[in-house]
Amino acid sequence: MGMLRIAGGRVYDPANGIAGAVREVCIRDGKIVADVPPEARTIDARGMVVMPGGVDIHCHIAGPKVNLARKVQPEDHRHDVHLRTRITRSGTGGTVPSTFATGYRYAALGYTTAMEAAVTPLGARHTLEELHDTPVIDKGFFVLVGNNVLLYRLLQEGRTEEFRHALAWWLGATKAYAPKLVNPGGDELWKGQRNANITKLDEKIGPFDLTPRQVIAAFIEAANELGLPHPVHIHCNNLGHTGNYETTLETMRLAEGRRAHFTHIQFHSYGSVAGKSRDNPTSRARDIAEFVNTHPNITADVGAVMFGRSTSMTADAPLAYMLRRFGGAKWVNADTEMESGCGIIPFTYQDRVYTNALQWAIGLELFLLSEDPWRMVFSTDHPNGGSFMTYPRLIRLLMDREYRKEQMSRVNQKALDQSGLRDCQEREYTLNEIAIITRAGPARILGLTEKGQLGVGADADVTIYEEDADKEKMFAAPRYVIKGGELVIEDHEFRTEVAGRVYHVAPGYDPGIERVLEPFFEDYYTIRFANYPVADRYAPHARVVPTAPAGAS
């Protein structure tokens, strides 16, 4: 690993208060350093913009459900192929690219870190195998614990200490980065009560003496006590349902000042006409944005919708089943014992369709109403709201008012009337704000201190864009991408391939908890307790991010 000097570029490094100043960025042994000797290679970045590598806080790129979504759509790969070169592997694209194509395409957009957002514990080993074959970018995953039968049993018996130890064990055993809640309580009704679903936070969860409210509160508390870098990642109940914004606000209130991240909130910001839940949804983006603006403990990613082909893939099985009525021919459902559900539907968002246009507008509203870019960050919930390949266009929609107005004129106008988008259409994001919502913000929310910034000691993940009035063009193809100090892309071409690291946590727990878990495993799981934890060799380039338990320090 050599030395590198990037000179003459306008640097955007919000974490260090640098917003477009022309200054040098120096790299040595994979890290940002204060200076390098004169003999170091210099990249002439005059007329270019220098930013930390992009950080995707929430996407679906690896693991069991992603692979099912790949397998089920040969027609989506056929028209978007990825040729091999002397040094890089071939692959296929579409809304769910093959692993190699995923790594290369993220890097080619200037992204150097991405978090897979929903993995069943039983699927952790599979996910790590796919991440191993996802080159260049650093990555990690969130593990699904919000419908875990054993954790529910500990909760309903009031065994909160053991619940916390069990959660810590599960995070470590699966090499996860953070706990993920998806439609808490929904799976038990889906699997056990003829495809029913949870609709209220205070509804009893099937056979358990528990409600979603109790479950969510318990996870927020335990995760904060464990001092996780990213305490808990929440996909609220009632996703996609008309009138769901009330559920979303109620859930946010449960945090009570403690840290919690709420994901793809665009899908959770729907109102209804005079409380009629059957009618077309309306926009409640303003209510949601205002709550986030005024609650510094809350962070969120938007989950914007972009028109065109997408694949709805979620642990929220009842949702996918609902979409099946609009979606089309293929529906995949995959239940995981004791842990989760999963649903997959190929889906196309159309600008003329009321609901789709409203979802598009709400995504933009949330961005434009946000007063703190550090806490309302960028995502399309790839590939649910749209592929990560649409990020450059979404950036242009935020930065270019005229382009946005022109796009607004093309969509279903009834939907636009229902949204508040016209009221906030004057705002334009600055390059510095873009650097925050696509890099610095996600890194800070994730607790990845070496990412999303270019201060001395940070990871040398750097993206260099050629300035262009057309921001979609500018962000679609950076001139240089440096990953961990390696010049991976030069003049838009891959010059080398690097593996990328896996980030995970390993919180401490009372070993005694295993005596509680093992009998349950032998009774109800179909693999042995001893064969459940994932061995270190599945994460060959692992970085364990330390936790700061409450009361410790």
Nearer of residues 82 and 165 to another protein, judged by Cβ: 82
Rounded to a whole number of angstroms, the minimum distance from the CB of residue 306 to another protein is: 21
Nearer of residues 189 and 223 to another protein, judged by Cβ: 189
| Contact criterion met (CB below 8 Å) for 388 and 417 | no
Nearer of residues 275 and 540 to another protein, judged by Cβ: 540
Structure tokens at 7: 């000179």
Rounded to a whole number of angstroms, the minimum distance from the CB of residue 549 to another protein is: 30
Helix 285-293 with 354-369: angle, nearest 10 deg: 20
Nearer of residues 54 and 327 to another protein, judged by Cβ: 327
Structure tokens at 417: 């009337």
| Contact criterion met (CB below 8 Å) for 351 and 393 | no
Nearer of residues 531 and 553 to another protein, judged by Cβ: 531
- Give the Cα separation of 103 and 87 in Å (integer): 14
Q: In a 3-state reduction of DSSP, which class is residue 117?
A: strand
Rounded to a whole number of angstroms, the minimum distance from the CB of residue 19 to another protein is: 40
Rounded to a whole number of angstroms, the minimum distance from the CB of residue 488 to another protein is: 17
Query: Which letter does DSSP use for residue 483 in this model?
Result: E
- Give the Cα separation of 268 and 272 in Å (integer): 12
- Give the Cα separation of 229 and 479 in Å (integer): 32
Half-sphere exposure of residue 59: CA atoms within 13 angstroms, side-chain side: 34
Structure tokens at 332: 């995949």
Q: How many Cβ atoms from other residues are within 10 Å of residue 475's Cβ?
A: 25
Which residues pair with residue 543 across a beta bridge?
503
| Contact criterion met (CB below 8 Å) for 517 and 166 | yes
Task: Name the amino acid, one letter, at 401.
Answer: R
Segments in 60-142 forming alpha helices (H) = 64-71, 74-78, 99-108, 124-132
- Give the Cα separation of 178 and 313 in Å (integer): 19
Nearer of residues 62 and 513 to another protein, judged by Cβ: 62
Rounded to a whole number of angstroms, the minimum distance from the CB of residue 49 to another protein is: 31
- Give the Cα separation of 473 and 165 in Å (integer): 49
Nearer of residues 245 and 521 to another protein, judged by Cβ: 521
- Give the Cα separation of 139 and 461 in Å (integer): 13
Give, rounded to a whole angstrom, the gap between the first and last alpha carbons of the chain: 35
Nearer of residues 14 and 94 to another protein, judged by Cβ: 94
Query: Which letter does DSSP use for residue 437 in this model?
Result: I
Rounded to a whole number of angstroms, the minimum distance from the CB of residue 537 to another protein is: 9
Rounded to a whole number of angstroms, the minimum distance from the CB of residue 504 to another protein is: 17
Tokens 């995970």 sit on residue: 504
Residues 6+ apart with CB under 8 A from 71: none
Nearer of residues 335 and 372 to another protein, judged by Cβ: 335
Nearer of residues 196 and 477 to another protein, judged by Cβ: 196
Structure tokens at 468: 């262009």
Residues 6+ apart with CB under 8 A from 530: none
Rounded to a whole number of angstroms, the minimum distance from the CB of residue 185 to another protein is: 16
Nearer of residues 66 and 505 to another protein, judged by Cβ: 66
| φ, ψ dihedrals at 351, nearest 5° | -65, -20
Rounded to a whole number of angstroms, the minimum distance from the CB of residue 346 to another protein is: 9
Interface residues with another protein (CB under 8 A)?
Answer: 62, 64, 66-67, 70-78, 81-92, 94, 96-101, 122-123, 125-126, 129-130, 133, 149, 190-192, 194-195, 321, 328-338, 344, 523-528, 530-531, 535
Nearer of residues 464 and 534 to another protein, judged by Cβ: 534
Nearer of residues 31 and 89 to another protein, judged by Cβ: 89
Integer angstrom CA distances of residue 536 from 64, 130, 173, 228, 529 = 20, 15, 10, 20, 17
Q: How many Cβ atoms from other residues are within 10 Å of residue 328's Cβ?
A: 12
Half-sphere exposure of residue 243: CA atoms within 13 angstroms, side-chain side: 10
Rounded to a whole number of angstroms, the minimum distance from the CB of residue 38 to another protein is: 34
Residues 6+ apart with CB under 8 A from 417: none
Rounded to a whole number of angstroms, the minimum distance from the CB of residue 387 to another protein is: 14
Rounded to a whole number of angstroms, the minimum distance from the CB of residue 102 to another protein is: 9
Rounded to a whole number of angstroms, the minimum distance from the CB of residue 468 to another protein is: 26
